[in-house]
Amino acid sequence: MVGAFGAQAADKKVTVAYQTDALPSSVAIADGAFVKATGYEIDFRKFNSGAEIFAALASGDVQVGYVGSSPFAAATSRGLDVRAFQLASISGTDEALVVRDGSGIETLADLKGKKLAAAPVSTDHYQLLALIKSLGLSESDVEVFAIPQPEIVAAYSRGDLDGGFVWDPALSELKKTGKVLITSKEVAEKGSPTFSAWVAAGAFADENPDFLKSFSGVANASYASFAEHPELWGPDSENAKVLATFLGGTPEQQAAALKNLNLLPPQTQASAAWLGGGEASGAARILKDTAQFLKDQGKISRVLDSYAAFVTPSAVALTN
């Protein structure tokens, strides 16, 4: 495996996995900014879930990927060596539990006896299970299906599901005939925070620190543009049109989805609160807490003593 990573580094080729979340940095994938800044030949591949991306990282087919904290906690608990080097977002309103019109669900108290779904081992799946537990319910009280987002949309549209905890573009689709019952941010405030991050395979990260620095720099530059120049990211903007072409949906939907994000500037990412605190860092603590929850739920078999080795501030700290 190390030999394979070494060969890829020498050739300046890397395979990067992304998902369909609306992120400012997705424009940089579409317009080639990541390639230009890093000097690497990058093969960007779309995946439907973090679990799929971690399987590709484990096999060596992918070296860098965009993932959520729940599959991240599961993969590292099983022994995969990966490092989070850039925080894409933290719990916001870009992920939510949407309930179908006519489902009979008006409040959280109405979830008992209902059929809900989330992508397998995703942050949404984790938060849905945590939400159910916080209500004093179990999976015998609420039927939870762990299925890919395209299947969630189809089952919801048929009326086979009462609701789904999803992100865009599924979020926008479900909201057409339903309403948001609770957001990821609100579940986080109940004690189950999550994050999304760009991670790299350990060996690749060790051998390609400059790539990670340049990659992070591009992502953070797109975040700064979004924060400082909102007019460049509105429904009529070129950026929104690029996102719609690249990820699907309409420019209006992509612009609306961007407003739901909870993004962190690089200095906050690199701080002790998130990537820079070692054992006490926010990201490491969330990974451990998530792993403990997943173990309690029977989803994984062990929890590591520490998750500090799986987060690093070096790439974002160097972009400050």
Q: Which of 154, 189, 224 is the last residue of a domain?
A: 189
| pLDDT, the chain, mean | 93
What is the domain-level CATH number for residue 133? 3.40.190.10
The answer to whether residues 113 and 252 belong to one domain is no
Residues 312 and 226 in one domain: yes
- Residue 80 is predicted with a pLDDT of 97
Domain count within the chain: 2
Residue 196 contacts residue 66 (beta carbons within 8 Å): yes
Are 31 and 165 contained in the same domain? Answer: no
Assess whether pLDDT exceeds 90 at residue 168.
no
User: What is the rounded average pLDDT of the residues 164-184?
Assistant: 95
The range of the structural domain enclosing residue 164 comes to 95-189
53 and 106 together in one domain: no
Instruction: State the pLDDT at residue 314.
Output: 94
Q: Which of 155, 189, 223 is the last residue of a domain?
A: 189
Are residue 145 and residue 126 in the same domain, yes or no? yes
Answer yes or no: is pLDDT of 65 > 60.
yes
Task: Give the per-residue pLDDT at 169.
Answer: 85
Amino acid 286: pLDDT = 95
Confidence at 108, pLDDT banded by 50, 70, 90:
very high
Q: Are 164 and 172 in contact (CB under 8 A)?
A: no
Confidence (pTM)? 0.85
Asked if residue 5 has pLDDT above 50, the reply is no
Mean pLDDT of 282-300: 93
Q: Are residues 86 and 209 in the same domain?
A: yes
The answer, yes or no, to whether residue 10 has pLDDT greater than 80, is no
Specify whether 110 is located in the same domain as 175. yes
Convert the pLDDT of each residue in 121-138 to its tens digit. 889 999 999 999 999 998
Same domain, 32 and 11: yes
Same domain? For 178 and 230 the reply is: no
Task: Read off the pLDDT of residues 219-273 as tens digits, 9 standing for 90 and up.
Answer: 999 999 999 999 999 999 999 999 999 998 899 999 999 999 999 999 999 999 9
> Is there a single domain that holds both residue 163 and residue 296?
no
Average pLDDT over residues 68-87: 96
